[in-house]
Amino acid sequence: MPLFRRDAFPDDPPGRAVARLEPDGECRGVVLMLHGGTQQSTEPVDAGSASLWRTTVMRDRIAPRLLRHGYAVWLLRYAVRGWNGTGAPVADARWALAQVREAHPGVPVVLLGHSMGGRTAAYVADDPSVVGVVALAPWFDPADPVAPLRDRTLVAGHGLRDRITSAVRTKAFVERARAVARRAEFRPLGAAGHYMLYRAGRWNRFARDQSLLQLGDADGLR
């Protein structure tokens, strides 16, 4: 059974925090999960956050196999709900990556982000621990830089019925990223919408399998 080292939610007071699931034994790598948010809000992320809840549900579905294969699964809770024009969650993600390096120096990290979390992941992919990004229905803007993805892997999955974020913009971002990334792929996920509730099993498999592949563990797919 995996070792449950610490889970910061939901009893901690609101604020930046990470919930950590650790494997029983040596840690071979870390999947750092980044939840969604909204365009403008300085409200704290708390246990009532639907974005955090959705990512927590996904974590609980995908973590068992990752843990069995020696990978830690961390979930970051942002300090506030909004992007707020300046990438507020980016600082939180940088902080979480520093925590990963302290706990597990030298191991590879995959950033697994939904919506605003996918955008945040692309901004912090230049961290030296990061090997790649798995973006789920990401919220990309045409002005977002691709330089942080240099020599990283990006796989972005987007449902074609998403009315919250744009599959067209995601595809355009991936095409720009190909100029610098080791590999950049857009994966259409059929009739899925934004919130990963419809066809949840497909979202979960995509998130888990793409994370394992970016960690170099094809055997984990079996």
Task: Report which residue type is found at 27.
Answer: C
Helix (H, G, I), strand (E, B) or coil at 31: strand
Residues 148 and 125 sit within 8 Å (Cβ to Cβ):
yes
What pLDDT, on the 0 to 100 scale, is given for residue 1? 34
pLDDT digits (tens, 9 = 90+) for 140-158: 999 999 999 999 999 999 9
With beta carbons less than 8 A apart as the criterion, state whether 113 and 136 touch.
yes
What are the residues whose beta carbons fall under 8 Å from the beta carbon of 143, sequence distance 6 or more? none
DSSP state of 16: S
pLDDT of 216 higher than 70: yes
pLDDT value at 186 more than 90:
yes
Closest among 209, 215, 221, 153 to 186, alpha carbons compared: 153
pLDDT of residue 2: 38
- 65/163 Cα distance (integer angstroms): 31
pLDDT band with cut points at 50, 70 and 90 for residue 220 = low
Q: Are 95 and 11 contacting, i.e. CB atoms less than 8 angstroms apart? A: no
Task: Give the chain's domains with CATH numbers.
Answer: 3-216 (3.40.50.1820)
- Predicted pLDDT of residue 14: 75
DSSP string of 93-118, one letter each residue:
HHHHHHHHHHHSTT--EEEEEETHHH
* DSSP E strand boundaries for the chain: 3-6, 17-22, 29-34, 71-77, 109-114, 130-136, 153-158, 183-188
- 10: pLDDT strictly greater than 80: no
